[in-house]
């Protein structure tokens, strides 16, 4: 694997196939769809405002708008912001905003809709539709996440599995995604991590260096056996006496 994609801890979007719903093209599509929604809502507000003015007079229109602002109800607040009142349209608008710039899993979107008190039936309708058109694709998300987090942060398969589970990705999808990393690739990445960290441990005693380097690998999801082997070899290359370092740390 040669493509490198940087994700922050709450990741920036990985590059990917536009058809999968990931990368700049997908973000542009989501922004375009959101803009279309905004245009439609703006047109509706304009027509409604004109109707109020012609039917009740300018003063009545101002009083009606003032009354709406003073009510302070959630529905009036949403109306002022131009959000659609239909649950399906609300769900669609929320998902488009969340997907603009950052890929998300189905569970992440479902949780966001639940937090906004979107009815389950409306949420399911929108999520299913977004899956059909490729704006939600957990398999593509998982594959891009594994590649990005392994190359960008040096995470091993164990850590990647944990992260994807917290994002609600199905176990079978996770297994397929982390399967793109084999043990040789993991060990090579572990060696690179140790090589970068090795200099900062110089001057410490051997056992402390071992604990610090092996602990760094453990936090990134590397197994004890691999971590010990990689660290020992790195110390040997620097001329350290590694006698007795076969014991688990």
Q: How sure is the predictor about 4, in pLDDT bands with cuts at 50, 70 and 90?
A: very low
The rounded mean pLDDT for the chain is 76
- At 84 the pLDDT is 57
Give the mean pLDDT of 6-23: 40
Average the pLDDT over 142-148 and give the result. 95
Model confidence over 167-203: pLDDT tens digits?
999 999 999 999 999 889 999 999 999 999 998 998 8
Choose between 117 and 60: higher pLDDT. Answer: 117
Instruction: Write out the chain in H/E/C secondary structure.
Output: CCCCCCCCCCCCCCCCCHHHCCCHHHHHHHHHHHHHHHHHHHHHHHHHHHHHHHHHCHHHHHHHHHHHHHHCCHHHHHHHHCCCCCHHHHHHHHHHHHHCCCCCCHHHHHHHHHHCCCCHHHHHHHHHHHHHHCCCCHHHHHHHHHHHHHHHHCCCHHHHHHHHHHCCCCHHHHHHHHCCCCHHHHHHHHHHHHHHHHHHHCCCCHHHHHHHHHHHHHHCCCCHHHHHHHHHHHHHHCCCCCCCCCCCC
- Comparing 1-10, 106-115, 212-221, the range with the smallest average pLDDT is 1-10
pLDDT band per the 50, 70, 90 thresholds, residue 147: very high
pLDDT of residue 85: 79
Structure token pair of residue 221: 């999801």
Does residue 13 contact residue 22 with C-beta atoms inside 8 Å? yes
| Percent of the chain with pLDDT strictly greater than 90 | 52
Distance CA 174, CA 179 (A): 8
State the pLDDT at residue 16: 39
Tens digits of per-residue pLDDT, 118-128?
A: 999 999 999 99
Return the pLDDT at 130.
Answer: 97
Q: Quick one: pLDDT at residue 185?
A: 93
Summarize the confidence of residues 83-103 as an average pLDDT. 89
What pTM does this model have? Answer: 0.64
């Amino acid at each position: 694997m040669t493509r490198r994609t940087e994700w922050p801890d709450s990741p920036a979007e990985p590059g990917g196939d536009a058809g999968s719903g990931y990368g700049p093209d997908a973000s542009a599509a989501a922004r375009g769809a959101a803009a279309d929604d905004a245009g439609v809502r703006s047109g509706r507000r304009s027509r409604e405002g004109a109707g109020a003015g012609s039917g009740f007079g300018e003063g009545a229109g101002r009083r009606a708008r003032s009354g709406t602002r003073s009510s302070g109800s959630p529905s009036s607040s949403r109306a002022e912001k131009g959000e659609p009142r239909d649950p399906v349209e609300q769900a669609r608008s929320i998902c488009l905003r969340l997907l603009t710039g950052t890929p998300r899993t189905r569970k992440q979107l479902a949780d966001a809709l639940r937090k906004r008190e979107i009815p389950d039936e409306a949420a399911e309708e929108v999520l299913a539709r977004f899956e059909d058109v490729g704006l939600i694709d957990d398999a593509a998300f998982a594959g891009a996440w594994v590649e990005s987090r392994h190359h960008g942060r040096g995470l091993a398969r164990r850590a990647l599995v944990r992260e994807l589970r917290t994002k609600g990705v199905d176990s079978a999808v996770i297994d397929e995604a982390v399967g793109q990393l084999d043990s040789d690739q993991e060990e090579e990445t572990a060696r690179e991590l140790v090589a970068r960290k090795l200099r900062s441990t110089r001057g410490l005693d051997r056992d402390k260096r071992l604990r610090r380097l092996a602990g760094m690998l453990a936090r990134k999801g590397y197994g004890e056996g691999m971590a010990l082997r990689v660290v020992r070899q790195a110390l040997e290359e620097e001329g350290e006496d590694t006698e007795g370092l076969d014991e688990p740390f």
